[in-house]
Amino acid sequence: MNRLFSVLCLCLLPWGVFAHETAKRGIIFDHPWIRATAPNAMMAAGYFKLINGGFEDDRLVTATANFAKKVEIHETIKEGDVSKMRAIAGGIDVPQEAEFIFQPGGLHLMFRGLDKQMVAGEKFIVEMEFEKAGKVMVEFLVEKAGKRGHDHSGNMKSGTGHH
Ligand SMILES: [Cu+2]
């Protein structure tokens, strides 16, 4: 029993269970962060791991932030050797038990028309609206590019379980 418990803990630790995480009705945002920007940048990207640990399928409809004119959900697509990003209109389905990893080179939030510079160490609230869970206020921490160690292959994952 003890052993099982410690194994579980080890498994969860890298995902920052004790770090910052937002959860509402089973919708979990793990380690939301925004890439630090240059002083005059008009855009910034936001990343996190999104898990639907609730009891029903849901849908991330929109996101808004008071420091940006517009927040879009972007995906990165490869056309030959060129990576392009594209806005996903209408939000994304988040089925029960699904896990999405928003990360550099994949899905991300795009903050457009920035009001201010994103300085490492600062925190910003982003309002994420779900069809069923409603509004979820998520606190993002600004971090320098390249600081994040884990680079999972694949842009999007769904299904159960940890990595
Ligand atoms: Cu983008």
In a domain, 30, yes or no: yes
| Mean pLDDT score across all residues of the chain | 82
Distance CA 93, CA 141 (A): 25
**Integer CA distances (angstroms), 97 to 11, 24, 77, in order:** 17, 14, 25
In this predicted structure, the answer to whether residue 2 has a pLDDT above a threshold of 50 is no
pLDDT at 56: 93
Ligand 1 mean position to 155 CA, how many Å?
13
161 touches 53 (CB < 8 A): no
Q: Indicate whether 136 belongs to any domain.
A: yes
Q: pLDDT-based confidence at 93, cuts 50/70/90? A: very high
C-alpha of residue 46 to centroid of ligand 1, in Å: 9
Query: Could you list which residues have their CB under 5 Å from ion ligand 1?
Result: 74, 85, 110
CATH number, domain of 131, equals 2.60.40.1890
The answer as to whether 159 is a domain residue is no
Judge whether 153 lies within some domain: no
More confident residue, 19 or 72: 72
Residue 6 pLDDT exceeds 60: no
In a domain, residue 14? The reply is no
In 3D, which of 37, 86, 88, 83 has the Cα closest to residue 59? 88
Q: Which domain holds residue 85?
A: 20-143
Residue 92 forms part of a structural domain: yes
Report percent pLDDT > 90 for the chain: 67
* 94-124 residue pLDDT tens: 999 999 999 999 999 999 999 999 999 999 9
Task: Establish if 28 belongs to a structural domain.
Answer: yes
The count of structural domains within the chain is 1
Whole-model pTM: value is 0.76
pLDDT at 9 over 50: no
Residue 35 Cα to ligand 1 midpoint, Å, equals 12
Query: pLDDT-based confidence at 146, cuts 50/70/90?
Result: low
49 part of a folded domain: yes
Tell me the pLDDT band of 57, cut-offs 50, 70 and 90: very high
